[in-house]
Structure 1
C-alpha cells in the first residue's frame, strides 16, 4: 500500500517493496525496502524520467528532506526522484541490536550482514526499477558510499542506468582496507592541522578535555563510556564543510565548575553523546570495513591496526609532552563496541565480520573499461573520507567518466552546494561543458 501526501512545492509517495534477502536465492527469505518518491507539485501528473538517490554511509537511511532542500530542488526540475532507504536502514527492515538477535547467535547475525554491501543494494535497485519505470533505465545519484554502489551498478547492471552521477564516492577498485586507512590517517592529520590553524585556542582546550577524559573516563547519560579515543573520534566532523566550526563551538565551553571542582558540563556531554552514539545507525559501524572486503584477506579491524603505524595519534603519549592532541576521522574501531551501549551486544558479531575471508569482488575492471553509460563524478580535493588519489585512479579506469575536481567543498558538497553541484554533474554527463 502506498500513501501520497504533500509538502511545500512537492508531492510525496511512500513506497514499500519486498525483495529477497539473498538475490541468489529468490524463493528464500525476504526483507522489506522503503523508499520515498518525490515529484514537483506542478509536475505530479507528468511522465518524467526517474532519478534514484543512494545515500552515503553505509548504514544511513535516505535524507528526510522538507520541500526542495539541497540538491533535490534542482533534480525536481526534470526528474521524479526516489529516495531509497537501503536495506537495513531507515524504514526498511532494520538491522540493529534489537532486531539482529532474531537471526540467532553472533555467527548467524554475521552471515546475515554479509548481504548488506553494495552488491546486494544494487540488486535491490534492479528489482525495484522495473516496478517503477516499466523497465526504462534511470539516473542514479550516489553520494559517498552511494557512489561506491553506483560503481558496482556500472560493473554489474549498467543496462539499468541512463546516467550515473557520483559525489565524493569513487572507491578504489582493488585496495584492501589497510591501503584505504594508510592513505586516510595522513589526510586526517592535515585536517586537524588546518583546524588548529584556524582555531589555535582549541589546541589547549582539546588537551585539557583529553587529559580529563583520560583520568576520569566519564560515563554519559546514555551509558556511553567516554574514553580518550572516543573523544578523538569527534574529528569525524572535520570532513564536512562546517565541521571545523562545529568542533570549535563544541570544545569552547566543555567545563563547568562544581563543588567537586571542574567537570565536563552536561551540555558538552549531551552534544558529545549525540555525535558519538551509533544508536540511530549501528549498521554503519558493523559493515563499514566489510564494504572494502573483496578477496580472501580479512579486514581484521584494519583502522585500528593501521592506526598503530601512526603513533602521533596516541593521545596518552601526546599528553606526556606538549604537542597538540590529534583527532581522528571516519574510522571504526573494536573499542566502539565496548564504549557504545548501542553496539555492545554486537561485539562478537563485528569480530566475526572482521575475520571473514570469503568476500566477493565488488567491481569489474573489464566492464568498467568498456562502459557506455554517461558518468560524471565530483572529486573533492583532499576529501577526508575518500582518498583523492584512489578516486582519480578509479575515474581513469571507467571509460568515458568525466571528473570535476574541486576544493570548494568538503565531502558534503552535495548538501552544502547541492543545486550547483548537481547542475555541474548533469552538464558534464551530457557533454554540455
Structure 2
C-alpha cells in the first residue's frame, strides 16, 4: 500500500524573519526489517539562519516529545532555535504518524483494515523505528557524516535508543527531560508518577488556595449532573476533568489551570452551568484529536520483552485511593489532578479515539515488544552526551533518569528546579547553551 504523497518532490525553499526554511519529504520503510516492503512518508523542515543559508554547516536533528506530536512549528528564531542556528543547520522532523508525515488517526487507520491490522501497524511507531528512520534520513542529507541530535521528552527516549543501537550516527547527543528507565515496566513508571502528580496538585493549591473549592465544585457538578459535552462531542466526566492536571508539568501550567478554574461557572435561567468559555478551553487541553498517537502508543513506549502493559496507568491508579474524586466531592480532602496517564475511559469520552478502542485494547495486550535499550553498549558510550534533568518532572521520573544517567558512560547531567518539563522551550537558548557547554567539556 504505497502512501508517499511526494515521491519525487523537489524541496521547497522559503523564508521567515531571520531564517530560510526548506521542506523535505522522505520515503522510508514501514517495517525496517522489510526494506523493500511498504513505504510511508516522513516530513521534515530544515531551518538555517538567513545570513548563513549557503554555508556548509553541521546538522542538528530535533526530536519532539510525545509520542504523537509533530515537530514544533517555530516562527523565526523562537525558543532554543536561535541558539542552535548560530552553529547548525537544524532539521525539525515530524516523526512517523505525526504532523505532515503519513498520518495515523481515526480517519486513516481504517485503511489498514480492522483493529488487528491497525494494532500491528502501530507497533511500528516506537523509538526503534523512529531511530531507523533518522539513520536513513541522515545518510541522505549529510552524505554519511554524523549529526547532533536534540531530544525533548519522548525525543530523549529516542536519543537513548539511538545511543544503544546506532551511536556511529551521532556527533553529540543532547537530552532535555527525556532520560527513560532502561528496564522498568510501565507499572514502575506509573507507581513513581502518581506521587509526583499528588505533589504537583499540592503545590498548585499552595499557590492558589481558592482553587481547592473551585475544583471541588466542578467535580461535584459533574458527579451530580453527569458528563458535560464539550466541543467536538468530547464528554467531560469527573475523571476527564481531573486529567487537566497535565497542565501542571509546564512552567506556566499552574497559572493556566488557575485561570481556567476561576471562570468555570455562569448563571443561567436553569441555574449555574459550566460556562462555554470553560468548556472550550478545557476541550483544547483534553482532546486527542490533534495527537491520537499519544493515547494509542503512550504505554507501548515503555513496553519491552513479553510483559503486556495491560492499561498500566489504570491498574496502578487503584493503588492510590487518594485520587478517588469522591473524597473531594464529600469535602474530605482537595481534588487531586492527574495527567501524563492514558486510561480506557479516554476511548469512551473522546470522539477522536472512540473508533480506535479495540485497537488500543490489542496494543495493551501485546507481548512481542523488542527491547529498546542496551545497558552494556551504553556503558561503553563514546558519544559526547549531556542531559537536562528537571527536578520532580511531572512527566519523567527524576530518580529513573538519574539511574540511567549513571549507566551511560561519559554523560554529563544538569539537574535543575529552575524549569518544568518544557524548560528547553521556556528557557529560550539557556538550556541548550548549558548542554552544549557540558557536552563539549567546557565547564
Alpha-carbon distance in structure 2 between the residues aligned to 1:241 and 1:274? 18
Higher mean C-alpha deviation, range 222-231 or range 309-318: 309-318
Deviations 1:43-79 (A, max 9, x none): 0010000000000000000000000000000000000
Alpha-carbon distance in structure 1 between the residues aligned to 2:318 and 2:428? 37
Is 1:229 aligned to residue 213 of structure 2?
Answer: no
Deviation, 1:215, is 1.7
1:220 to 227, 230, 234: 230
Higher mean C-alpha deviation, range 17-26 or range 322-331: 322-331
Alpha-carbon distance in structure 2 between the residues aligned to 1:79 and 1:320? 56
Higher mean C-alpha deviation, range 210-219 or range 74-83: 210-219
1:160 to 156, 163, 169: 169
Verify the 8 A CA contact 1:168 1:383 in the aligned structure 2.
Answer: yes
SS of the equivalent of 1:6 reads strand
Equivalent position of 2:57 in the other structure: 48
Alpha-carbon distance in structure 2 between the residues aligned to 1:393 and 1:106? 37
Equivalent position of 1:8 in the other structure: 17
Q: TM-score, normalised by structure 2?
A: 0.97
Alpha-carbon distance in structure 2 between the residues aligned to 1:353 and 1:421? 36
Alpha-carbon distance in structure 1 between the residues aligned to 2:414 and 2:236? 40
Equivalent position of 2:351 in the other structure: 341
Equivalent position of 2:142 in the other structure: 133
Deviations 1:11-61 (A, max 9, x none): 000000000000000000000000000000000010000000000000000
2:392 to 373, 377, 382: 382
Verify the 8 A CA contact 1:185 1:310 in the aligned structure 2.
Answer: yes
Is 1:119 aligned to residue 128 of structure 2?
Answer: yes
Equivalent position of 2:336 in the other structure: 326
SS of the equivalent of 1:68 reads coil
Verify the 8 A CA contact 2:288 2:352 in the aligned structure 1.
Answer: yes
Alpha-carbon distance in structure 2 between the residues aligned to 1:73 and 1:329? 31
Deviation, 1:199, is 0.1
Deviation, 1:418, is 3.1
Equivalent position of 1:25 in the other structure: 34
Deviation, 1:323, is 1.1
CA RMSD, aligned part only?
0.6
Q: TM-score, normalised by structure 1?
A: 0.99
Deviation, 1:317, is 3.1
1:10-409 correspondence runs (5 A): 10-216=19-225, 217-409=227-419
SS of the equivalent of 1:222 reads helix
Verify the 8 A CA contact 1:88 1:116 in the aligned structure 2.
Answer: yes
Alpha-carbon distance in structure 1 between the residues aligned to 2:413 and 2:428? 16
Verify the 8 A CA contact 1:312 1:318 in the aligned structure 2.
Answer: no
SS of the equivalent of 1:300 reads coil
Deviation, 1:214, is 1.5
Equivalent position of 1:425 in the other structure: 435
Verify the 8 A CA contact 2:28 2:41 in the aligned structure 1.
Answer: yes
Alpha-carbon distance in structure 1 between the residues aligned to 2:190 and 2:201? 16
Higher mean C-alpha deviation, range 310-319 or range 44-53: 310-319
Verify the 8 A CA contact 1:60 1:281 in the aligned structure 2.
Answer: yes
Alpha-carbon distance in structure 2 between the residues aligned to 1:163 and 1:312? 43
Alpha-carbon distance in structure 1 between the residues aligned to 2:417 and 2:204? 16
Verify the 8 A CA contact 1:4 1:13 in the aligned structure 2.
Answer: yes
Deviation, 1:319, is 1.4
Verify the 8 A CA contact 2:217 2:329 in the aligned structure 1.
Answer: no
Verify the 8 A CA contact 1:232 1:326 in the aligned structure 2.
Answer: yes
Alpha-carbon distance in structure 2 between the residues aligned to 1:219 and 1:69? 36
Q: Which runs of 5+ in 2 are unaligned?
A: 1-9
Deviation, 1:213, is 1.2
Alpha-carbon distance in structure 2 between the residues aligned to 1:425 and 1:408? 15
